[in-house]
Structure 1
Amino acid sequence: MKIPQGFSKEGETRVCRLRKSLYGLKQASRNWYQKFTSSLLDLGFHQCKADYSLFIRKQGSNIVAILIYVDDVIMVGNNNEIVQETKNELNRLFSIKDLGGLKYFLGIKVARTSKGLVLSQRKYTLDILEDCGLQGCRPSSFPMEPSLKLDKEATRPKVDGGRYRRLVGRLLYLQATRPDITYAVNVLSQFVSDPRQSHLDVVHRVLRYLKATLGQGILLSRENNYKLVGYCDADWLGCPFSRRSRTGYLLLLGGAPISWKTKKQSVVSRSSAEAEYRSMASTTSEILWMRWLLQELDVPSDGPTPLFCDNQAALHIANNPVFHERTKHVEMDCYFVRERVETKEIQPLNINSSMQIADLFTKSLGAPQLILLLGKLGVIDLHAPT
């Protein structure tokens, strides 16, 4: 930081005193977070232990929750007067801008329907298609060819790495409301360091699928149903060049998807049961965190959370208290899952492979199976013809 011209003379040792650090400094974001956090704590809010960006204040049966992302804030509550009082206090401290009812947040559109709230990213998707010049492309009914195994394709021609990384990065953010492209984007993100023409062709296939489903989004039903359900699956030796399996899981709250993930496992699994069990352990960790978060929001969790898996061997290991010699290489995951089963926090259950929703996150599916699973996932298209 330099003293402006005209305020300093040669030989002087005066310095500037910093009064506010909102923008332009390394410590600006941390200072803003500390300032906003301390102000909310002074207003009677407490910081959620499961998510430090969430603040909750309870007054009897009234509750107000504030979720912050840098300087963007969502505020919800069950008493309009208390919510307005909180807004007035924040406006006095920070001079906030009240945008009214929630319509857009970080590029995500929130639409209110008779069934509940629908979260979508239609405008964001249109911007991607416009930047790529694919507004008039031929739509596709599924994002990736079934059973397609992408490799490094060292003999194929190279493409512009910056363009490829930009497209994949934008698709990564689009996953916030589009779980149906999560698997394809996970596969494509493995080749950002050295993209080839075959990889870019698959990206364009995903964009053609998005063109066909522009208005698709997640429905958060207005029905008072707080049942938490988990699904987990694994693709054994799914990566063709590292032979690592892929973990995929999904959590539904009241039939609406609230958490999902696709990730390559850190080690090679020696059996399909081991791959499925590692996936089950990852899903159990997410369920425990979600139950903790719901508990802080006063959302009841009656009984253990059902966790559906389509692998019989993994289910037997989870429910059997006897430790088998051949499962010692997954000993930590075994003890972790069994402990949660014994404390009745989760309940592993079997499900038919054709009805396993988590298949969306471990393999590419054709149009019929994709449409079937998306219907069970709570995904709707606001702009689809009725």
Structure 2
Amino acid sequence: MGSIIFLLVYVDDIIITSNNPKLIEQLIGTLAVQFALKDLGQLWYFLGIQVHYLESGLLINQSKYVDDLLQKFQMTDVKPMSSPSVQGRKLSKNDGQPISNAYIYRSTIGALQYLTHTQTDITYAVNQLSQFLQTPTNVHWKSVAAYCTFVRNNIVSWSSKKQMVVARSNTESEYRALAHATSEVLWLQQLLSEMGLKTNARPTI
């Protein structure tokens, strides 16, 4: 088998790989005659993809890319989920209300599409959501508020429903859920008071 060399060029970044190290050196020398080059050595990060070298081969992931996305969309405090989408839910362009800033939705879906290069488990969910890029609604940009209320150790009410307003960050979504829970606690306090069951203990949320 003869020598093989591959080049991957993106703007001013180049990856060079070959089964012949001398051929790589010759090519770099030839390019250096015509262009100003800086050899960064062994590949470890390129276009949001990290490369790890193992004895059995290469391992690539986009963990830094994911961290950067979470920072960008203010979602660093989100909790992990076992599934990337709501199971059994069929989305439609007619469900919900159009969101005020469709750019956030579109840029997020675009970023997630690039993430599917290494995270193939989200491919189906991203494909489904990308069908609504033209007119995304609050149903497609999901935020769910949930809470349970207890009197002593007894659960007396609970709620889990989609928020009516699109949250721009996970923190904003949690504040909205907190507001709903607070309203429920105040209502229960008033109800218990009318029933003559007053308590001096402060509620814990």
What TM-score, normalized by structure 1, do the two folds share? 0.35
| Contact preservation (8 Å) 2:96, 2:139 | no
Answer whether contact 2:97 2:137 (CA < 8 A) is retained: yes
Question: Are positions 1:147 and 2:126 aligned together?
Answer: no
Question: How far 1:155 sits from its partner (Å)?
Answer: 4.2
Question: 2-side partners of 1:81 and 1:155: how far apart?
Answer: 61
Cα distance in 2 for partners of 1:131, 1:93 equals: 38
**1:367-382 matches, cutoff 5 A:** none
1:61 paired to 2:16:
no
Separation in structure 1 between the aligned mates of residue 29 and residue 98 of structure 2, nearest angstrom? 59
Gaps of 5+ in 1: 1-59, 209-386
How far is 1:147 from its partner?
2.5
- CA offsets, 1:145-201, max 9 Å, x none? 222211113443534211111111111111121111111111111111211111001
Correspondences of 1:1-386 after superposition (within 5 Å): 61-156=2-97, 158-201=99-142
Q: Decide whether aligned partners of structure 1 residues 158 and 66 sit closer, same or farther in structure 2, where only a CA change above 3 A counts.
A: closer
Q: Residues 172 and 155 from structure 1, CA distance in 2 versus in 1: closer, same or farther, beyond 3 angstroms?
A: closer
- Partners of 1:86 and 1:191 lie apart in 2 by 46
Unaligned runs of 5+ in 2: 144-165, 171-205
- The one-character-per-residue Cα deviations of 1:131-158 (angstroms, maximum 9, x if unpaired) are 2221111210110122221111344353
Q: 1:76 to 1:134 in 2, by over 3 A?
A: same
Report the Cα distance in structure 2 between the residues aligned to 1:103 and 1:162, rounded to whole angstroms. Answer: 32
- Cα separation, partners in 2 of 1:69 and 1:155, compared to 1, 3 Å: closer
Q: State the SS of the aligned residue for 1:201.
A: coil
Q: String of CA shifts for 1:2-41, please: whole Å, max 9, x gaps.
A: xxxxxxxxxxxxxxxxxxxxxxxxxxxxxxxxxxxxxxxx
CA shift, 1:129, in A, is: 1.0
SS in 1 for 2:68: helix
Distance, in Å, in 1 between the alignment partners of 2:15 and 2:80 is 35
| SS in structure 2 of the partner of residue 200 of structure 1 | coil
Q: Conserved in 1, the CA contact under 8 Å of 2:102 and 2:135?
A: yes
Amino acid at match of 1:61: G
One-letter amino acid of the counterpart of residue 16, structure 2: M
Say which SS state the counterpart of residue 188 (structure 1) adopts.
helix
How far the C-alpha of 1:126 sits from its partner, in A, is: 0.7
**Does the CA contact (< 8 Å) of 1:153 and 1:198 recur in 2?**
no
Higher normalized contact order (CA 8 Å, seq sep 6+, divided by chain length):
1
| CA RMSD of superposed structures (Å) | 2.3
Do the aligned partners of 1:64 and 1:78 also contact (CA within 8 Å) in 2? Answer: yes
| Deviations, residues 238-274 of structure 1 (Å, cap 9, x unaligned) | xxxxxxxxxxxxxxxxxxxxxxxxxxxxxxxxxxxxx
TM-score by length of 2: 0.64
Contact map agreement 2:7 2:16 (CA 8 A) in 1: yes
**Structure 1 contact 103–111 (Cα < 8 Å) conserved:** yes
**Cα separation, 2, equivalents of 1:159 and 1:118:** 40
Distance 1:186 1:194 in 2: 15
1:92 CA drift (Å): 1.0
The 2-side partners of 1:138 and 1:95 are apart by 46
**Paired-residue identity, %:** 39
Using the alignment, how far apart are the partners of 2:3 and 2:68 within structure 1?
Answer: 41
**Deviation (angstroms), 1:116:** 1.9
